[in-house]
Structure formats: structure tokens, C-alpha cells
Amino acid sequence: MRLACSISLALAAAISAGQFSTAIAADSSVKAESTQSYIIKFNEPGLLHYDGGVGGIRATAPSANGQRKLDADSPAAQQYRSHLADARAGYMDQMHSAIGRVAAREHDYFVMFNGVALQLSAEEAERIARMDFVQSIAPAGVYELDTDSGPAFIGAPAVWNGTSTFGSIPTRGEGVVVGVIDSGANSDHPSFANDAMCGFSAGSPKLLSAKDCNQPSCVGGDPEDTSTASGGHGVHTSSTAAGNALTAGLMVNGVTLPFNISGVAPCAAVRTYKACEDTCPGAALTAAIQEAILDGVDVINYSISGGTSPWNDLDRNFLDMVNADIYVAASAGNTRAATPDPVGAVNHRGPWVMTVANSSHDRIVAFDVDVAGGPQDSGGVPGTGIDFPNGATTSDVALAVSLGNETGCTATGGFGAGTMTGRIALISRGSCNFSEKVDNAAGAGATGVIVYNNAPGLAIVMGGLETTTIPSAMVSNPQGIAIRDFLVGTPAAQMTVTGPAARVLDPAFGDILNASSLRGPQETFDVTKPDITGPGTNIFAAVGAVDGEFGFLSGTSMSSPHLAGAGALLRAANPTWTPMEVKSAIQLTASRNGLSDNATTPWDADEVGNGRVDLNKAAVSGLVMNESFANFLAANP
């Protein structure tokens, strides 16, 4: 079965350089590897904050004009934008004179602030920082992508059919525009086709735009999600938030499992902003945020890392988005090699951002795993490798723990030749890649592998198994420990794995925190983060560059678009609500009943904030709370 898996992208500093002509010759002594991208903010306010006073140009700030959104096409906006461009041109000449060369110019900014992104050395940045027209200069940074039944699990049908809206007016997100800053689009995927039932047509399309923000002005020529490293990340997040309602087939050993899937807000329009390939340059992300404000989107999904210093990084730009009447959902982040402990590491700490943890929903796709005389009906979740055959496969079991190498990794000894011949291997997750475990078992003669999760909670879809040669699947931590302990005492008991995998719904699977979900407490700011949790484990949605392809991904990247879609439904159902009122409605009505990642103790506020989003209640919340841009700024210590 071909499934997509969650991804962890390594940091890189590959940023494409733009061109800028001037009379100053380039200094070849400044080597490319000694420079990085810096964002320079000049003193003038951007369009979003200009209150007038420059050469008779009228104010462009929405608040000064009694508006909620920026009118970037107004005569005043065009005049002030031209004024800012002239100012930037003069500043560029002065900066080039100061550093003695032409710096590569990546992006221009004029909405949230007046500024540019340049490739500079640290010494050059110090020189520019001393210039009187520069408000601030800082490295742009490089960020990472945070990687079906979800909408029903969070109560979206109650908004779709009007049973949980004021006036019983049904909505699927009609009239709302969801923006997604990620790894790009798949313009021809059926999840983004023009559904006439939602009012979409060739003249009024669902996918309003797909832009490449890796080039200046977001006019790059490759807006599609073509990176193999992303695993279809941007397509998956977009379709989870606002993909069409349709039937998708999951093929398992020649048997098609039908999935009726939908985005949370299937009738919302979509705009995508590609700012990521293998990684996500901060300069491109800032350009994407600016472009989304110019496009007037209503909701943004941001399944990308960062936000641990909200006054000084991209989260500060999200405050400008909220000021521009945009509700922002962002991922809380996942554990990875650089962040193995989730406690206190939560991303996106700005209180104006809906920061989303990752918990389970009530659906798994699994083989049936039984042990004679022992644990029955364990669910073996298939990975991206070979499936167990249809019908029953019965075999003796080779216990990795009994062979002195519970994780099955090469570094811990591997397995001796013939030690698993003709048997199914039972191996713990952890310490090395899944493929290494399966390959080592195959080399020892195993006919299949059951991996049990070393983290509390549910099984996940194992990735990276495409080149393995024997069947494999994963069971949950409690199930795996029970099987292991039984077989240690009863080594002759046989295991039966029955295929094909089936779609199983059970409320007991739902509302369990994923062990990889970053969480609080964080002591830097006096806020509780994350704010909320949503389904993010084994989410089935559109993926990749192949039209009509679907797959599973896991992570806070997948839970965040559930909250973006939820925000879209609430904005459609209650169009007078501000972004902060939408955020408050979701938090005030959240379901507080769920379990921590040990699947035993109740979850707490540092893990999931207010709890799991519940759209059965959110759209009819009797209390909503607003907060102003000025008050947020006043809270900056």
C-alpha cells in the first residue's frame, strides 16, 4: 500500500538570490557561503499601519477608514505604495555604498512594514544596522514544515447541516477564503476541482490562486508542490482545511477501501502560497504573509515551525494578519532530532495565533493481529511497505527482546543469520529507521514484522519502507507490550495476522494526545500554549503532485488545518465575528475530555490548551471575546 508519512526536514541555507542593478561593482571577496538572508525594516509604516500625513496621501490603515480588511487597490494605497518604493530605492543605494557591493535582493515588503530581504554577511548587517533609516535588521531564518474522519469527529456536520448554527442556517464555508502557506498546490487534484454544489465554476474557481513566493513579489514560476521531500505536505494541509467532499479509494492488496472524505470547510475557496521546498526560508514566508494580506484571505493555515519569540519573529507578522481581519491557525510543532523532548518546546506562542496540538480521532486502518491463547484483536496499522497478504497468515514469533536487541537496530547488534527463519518478528519502535528494523529482520529470515510503538498511545503509519522486502505493520504501545510480555512467558504461541486491512471506527481511538506533539509549560511568556488540539494522527487527505492521489500524514501539521477549516466555518456562520472572537468561541466550547499520550491520565492545559475543538458548540457560543491590536502591542514587555 502506498501511503505518505509524516516528514522531518533538515535545516538548509539554500536561498535563491535576486538581481539588482546599480553603478557599484559587486565585491567578489564576499563569498556566497559567508552570507545569509536578512530582513531589513525601514522606519516608514506599511500599508496596513499608515495613518496619513505623507505628502497629502490619505491613510491606508483599515482602522483609519472604518474597514476590517486592507484595500490595497485604493488610490491612496497605490500612491503610498509608490512612495514606499521610492524610499526603498534610495535606501538601497545608500546601503550598497555602505557595504561596497551590490547585495542580492530577494524580496520587497510594503504591507506590514517597509523593508527588503537581502543576502548579507554578519559584518555588512552590522554596518546597515547603524544607518538612521533602518528600524531593525535580523536574520530571516530558515524554518521547517511540521508534519477523512476528522471533520465528523470535531462536529463539522452540525455546522454543515445547520443544527449547530444561529438561525439553523447551514454552511460549508461558502464565501470564505482559506489561505495556506506551505509547500505548494496541486491545481489539478479533484480535492480542488470546481464543485458546482458549492457555487464554483471556471469563472469563479475553488482554487482562486496558487503562488510561488520563493521569488520576488510571489511571481515564481513553480507554485505546485513538486518537492519529493515535502511528501505532498502543502496539498495535504490545503485539502484537510477546505478540500472538496468526495470518495477516495485506498488500495490494500488489490482491495479498495472507500473513504468518504472532506475538508472541514469544503465549500470555502482556497489560495495557496508556496514558500517551502526542503525547508522554508524566512524571507519567502514573510513575502507569503504579505501576499495573503494583499489577497484579502479570511483564514490562514501555517503548518510550519517557529514562533518561540513572538515579538521578534514571524509570529509578529501574524499579529498584523489578525489586524487585517485574518484568523490564523498554526501548528504547535513536533518532536524531532533537535527537539526530542516535547515539554516546554511549543511553537507559536503569540496569543493572537490559534496554536494547535496533535491528538487522535476515532478511525484507524488496520490488520487484525491475534496471538493464540493471548492478546486478541490488536490493530496492525500498515506502513508504506509491503502489506500482509489477504486472509490469515499464521506463524511462530521471533521476539527481538529475547534475542537481546529489542529495537532491532544495526548499532545495537542486529540479528544473527537464521535467528528468525520462517517467523514473524516482534520489534520495538525507536533508535533507528523503520526500514533498518525490517531489513535486519528479513536478513535474519523473518517472513514479516510487527513493530510496537515505544511511545504511549496509538500506532502510526510507518514511513520509508518502500524498498523493504517483507510485510510489516505497527501496533500500539499497550497492545505491543501485552503481546511481548505474553510471548516471553509462552514462546510457542503463534501469531495470526489477517488481511486486508480494514477501516475501523471506535470512539476509544479518539482524543489521545500524540507523544510527538510539542507542549508547554513555557516560562518565557505569561500565556498557556498550545491553545487547542485537533485530529492530527494518521490523517487521510490529498497528497503530492499526482492528480487523484491520497495518503496518510501525521503531525501538528495535520491538526492545524482542522482548526483553519473550523475557523472558516465559524467565519461563514458568524460573519461579524472578528478573528479573535472566532478563536475565543473555539476555545470556550472545546471538549475537555481526553487522555495524555500515555492513554491513561487525563490531558492537561499545557498539553492541549482548552481541549479538542468541538464544532457542535463553537458556532453557537453564547460568549465570544475580542482583543485589539493596540492592546496586544501594549502587552509587549
Q: Which amino acid is at 157?
A: P
To the nearest 10 degrees (0 to 180), the angle between helices 314-323 and 282-295 is 0
pLDDT digits (tens, 9 = 90+) for 119-146: 999 999 999 999 999 999 999 999 998 7
Q: What is the pLDDT of residue 449?
A: 98
- Decide if 339 contacts 355 (C-beta within 8 A): no
pLDDT digits (tens, 9 = 90+) for 457-511: 778 888 889 899 999 999 999 999 999 999 999 999 999 999 888 877 778 788 9
Q: What is the pLDDT of residue 407?
A: 97
- Decide if 619 contacts 159 (C-beta within 8 A): yes
Q: What is the pLDDT of residue 255?
A: 63
pLDDT digits (tens, 9 = 90+) for 595-615: 998 888 999 999 999 999 999
Instruction: Tell me the mean pLDDT in the region 605-629.
Output: 97
Q: What is the pLDDT of residue 502?
A: 81
- Decide if 225 contacts 235 (C-beta within 8 A): yes
For every residue of 379-407, DSSP letters joined together read EEEE-SSBPPPBEEEEE-EEETGGGT-TT
Q: For the chain, which domains are there?
A: 32-140 (3.30.70.80), 150-361+510-634 (3.40.50.200), 363-505 (3.50.30.30)
pLDDT over 70 (residue 528): yes
Least confidently predicted of 172-181, 209-218, 248-257, 609-618 = 248-257
Least confidently predicted of 106-110, 333-337, 417-421 = 333-337
pLDDT digits (tens, 9 = 90+) for 37-64: 999 999 999 999 999 999 899 999 999 9
pLDDT over 70 (residue 262): yes
Instruction: Specify the higher pLDDT residue, 610 or 19.
Output: 610
Give the whole-angstrom CA distance, residue 98 versus residue 243.
50
- How big is the CA angle at 69 (ends 113 and 532), to the nearest 5 degrees? 90
Q: What is the pLDDT of residue 2?
A: 32
Q: What is the pLDDT of residue 551?
A: 83
pLDDT digits (tens, 9 = 90+) for 80-91: 999 999 999 999
Mean pLDDT of the chain: 90
The torsion region of residue 511 among left (phi > 0), alpha (psi -120 to 50) and beta comes to left
pLDDT over 80 (residue 29): no
Instruction: Tell me the mean pLDDT in the region 321-336.
Output: 97
To the nearest 10 degrees (0 to 180), the angle between helices 122-129 and 75-99 is 120
Q: What is the pLDDT of residue 24?
A: 35
Percent of the chain with pLDDT over 90: 76
DSSP H helices, 137-192, are: 150-153, 156-160
pLDDT over 80 (residue 230): no
Confidence of residue 8 (pLDDT cuts 50, 70, 90): very low
pLDDT digits (tens, 9 = 90+) for 151-166: 988 999 999 999 999 9
Dihedral of CA 312/318/322/323: which sign?
positive
Q: What is the pLDDT of residue 40?
A: 98
- Decide if 316 contacts 330 (C-beta within 8 A): no
